[in-house]
Amino acid sequence: MKVRAGFVHSMGLMLIGGLVISGCAAVAEQNDSAKNAAKDAATTRAAFAMMQASFKARGQASVDRLNQDETQQLCSQYQDNPPKEIREKIEALNQKLTLFPADGVLLGDWKEGEKIAQSGVGKQFTDNPENAAGGNCYACHQLTKAEVSYGNIGPSLYNFGKVRAYAPEIAKYAYGKIYNAEAYSACSNMPRFGHSNILTPQQIKHVVALLMDPESPVNK
């Protein structure tokens, strides 16, 4: 059993994002009027200024982490529940941002993948940016029977390859999903591991092997 740490910084920002929105929720009820829209914008600006004033850059945790990209802005604006056309826009935008390995190889070594899934190290100011970050997959997913400590924000991935099929299109989906979850499910709570440079393409291949190799404990 391990204590799950990591992504505390990004999770903290997600929560703060939520607070900004709930601060706007009261006025959002009669959101039709331009007056309320202006109020919303002013509240968001004030909250952002407050965050900018209170966050201090430390090590690799620079203040530019407060800047939202278009996907994050849209998800904040729609409280992670955008209407269909915005959802499709977010997914299409992120499909374009999802890069697959040029060599076409999607599977690495599941044993390395298990280490990455177990590790919650990386991206915090106390972490050495020279060292590879972990994927912290167990923080949100069950993956193997052997590991009894896992979170359940995400679905169980136990038997992923066995149930979905050991097929190239499933490996491609797994790689793309881990690289950029927003390309498949707008406003997902899953970090965009490749897109956000948390994991390298090689690390993602190892994790895909963890999900897809018939010999992996995920499929045993």
Residues that bind ligand HEC (CB under 6 A): 117, 135-137, 139-141, 153-155, 157, 174, 177-178, 181, 185, 188-191, 193, 207
If the CB atoms of residues 24 and 139 are measured against ligand HEC, the closer one turns out to be 139
If the CB atoms of residues 42 and 165 are measured against ligand HEC, the closer one turns out to be 165
We find the least distance from the C-beta atom of residue 155 to ligand HEC, in angstroms, to be 5
Token pair recorded at residue 210: 């963890």
| Cβ–Cβ under 8 Å, residues 71 and 93 | yes
We find the least distance from the C-beta atom of residue 54 to ligand HEC, in angstroms, to be 24
Distance (Å) of CA 44 to CA 34, 39, 76: 15, 9, 10
CA-CA distance, 86 to 93, in Å (whole number)?
10
We find the least distance from the C-beta atom of residue 147 to ligand HEC, in angstroms, to be 13
Picking from 112, 123, 95, the residue whose alpha carbon sits closest to that of residue 13 is 123
**CA atoms within 13 A of residue 51's CA, in its CB half-sphere:** 22
If the CB atoms of residues 40 and 213 are measured against ligand HEC, the closer one turns out to be 213
We find the least distance from the C-beta atom of residue 4 to ligand HEC, in angstroms, to be 9
Token pair recorded at residue 83: 């209407």
If the CB atoms of residues 36 and 159 are measured against ligand HEC, the closer one turns out to be 159
